[in-house]
Amino acid sequence: MSGSQIAIEPEFYPIERLLIVGPLADAGPLADRAQAAGHHATLLVPDEEIAAAHEWGKGHRVLLEGEAVGEDDFDLVVELHCTDLSAKAEVLLYLEDALAENVPILTLALAVSAGELTREMLIPERVVGFSLLPPLTDSALAELMATPHTSSEAVRAAERLFESLGIATAQVGDSPGGVLARTVCCLVNECALAVQEKIASAEDIDKALRLAENYPYGPLTWGDRIGLDRVLAVMEGLHAEYKEERYRPAANLKQLVRAGHTGMAEGQGFFGY
């Protein structure tokens, strides 16, 4: 069946059996939200995280190392790799080959556009890019990014899924990070440059912007909450896409990530936790 012949019924397409693919730090919280909304969530995580996934509190099904995804096992897939783009490309090609042709694939497009991700795919019609601002435990908005090939039925399936999770949706143009993640990560990067150039301390920058602009967090604390490795991935994706100096990642941001100081989850970022 060619891509142009694939039809996904927008109102009645069932979304009960959900496959969530990616690092456990993101896949686990999203699976929890899906389970609470009445979906049956299965996790496909990197091999080294399988044991930890089995210990995850909600008791989701976890695919074992080497366990294949069946053609008719799932109604919809959410793919969440962000910082490891080679793993992302590999898993998307695997999912396209393994799943039935009418199963929508939602892919996190923080570090690369959905259009770029689908260049090598045979059925790009069923792929919807999306942007969620981590941490996914409290994400309130999903930006949906259709490529020129994406079917309206696949977009509607994505809308229905996120709405069922209590996450509002908005459709935006296809680019790395969408609008919200792009804006926040650029702010974090600009503040990192201010620290690097000794304009002010990280503490004073956060205090000034939090009080003056009424941000929910100071920008550098916000970056630590998101994960500095994810912030860096967004900035590198924007710089690769547009080749503009304003998107060049700050050197101290790259240094922190190289040192493993990626933020709150690791206990150290711009601040200690």
**Distance (Å, rounded) from C-alpha 80 to C-alpha 39?**
18
pLDDT recorded at residue 18: 97
- Topology of the domain comprising 3-171: Rossmann fold (3.40.50)
Tokens linked to 58: 């909600």
Instruction: Let me know how long the chain is.
Output: 273
The rounded distance, in Å, linking the Cα atoms of 58 and 132 is 22
For the ranges 16-30, 51-65, 156-170, the lowest mean pLDDT is seen at 51-65
Confidence of residue 214 (pLDDT cuts 50, 70, 90): confident
d(CA 88, CA 140): 24
pLDDT at residue 12 in the model: 46
CA 41 vs CA 19, 62, 86, 190: distances in Å: 6, 9, 25, 38
Return the pLDDT at 215: 86
pLDDT higher than threshold 60 for residue 11? no
Q: How high does pLDDT run on average in the chain?
A: 93
Per-residue pLDDT of 149-188, as tens digits, reads 999 999 999 999 999 999 999 999 999 999 999 999 999 9
The rounded percent of the chain whose pLDDT value lies above 70 is: 95
Residue 5 has pLDDT above 80, yes or no: no
The CATH class given to the 180-264 domain equals: mainly alpha
Per-residue pLDDT at 93: 94
Quote the pTM value: 0.91
Average confidence (pLDDT) over 87-115: 96
Q: What is the pLDDT of residue 6?
A: 52
Tokens coding 143: 């930006």
| DSSP β-bridge partners for residue 145 | 129
Q: Are 220 and 194 in contact (CB under 8 A)?
A: no
Select the more confidently predicted residue: 12 or 258: 258
CA torsion angle 65 38 145 25 (round to 10)? -40
At residue 10, the pLDDT reads 43
Q: Is the pLDDT of residue 2 over 50?
A: no
Quote the pLDDT of residue 4. 46
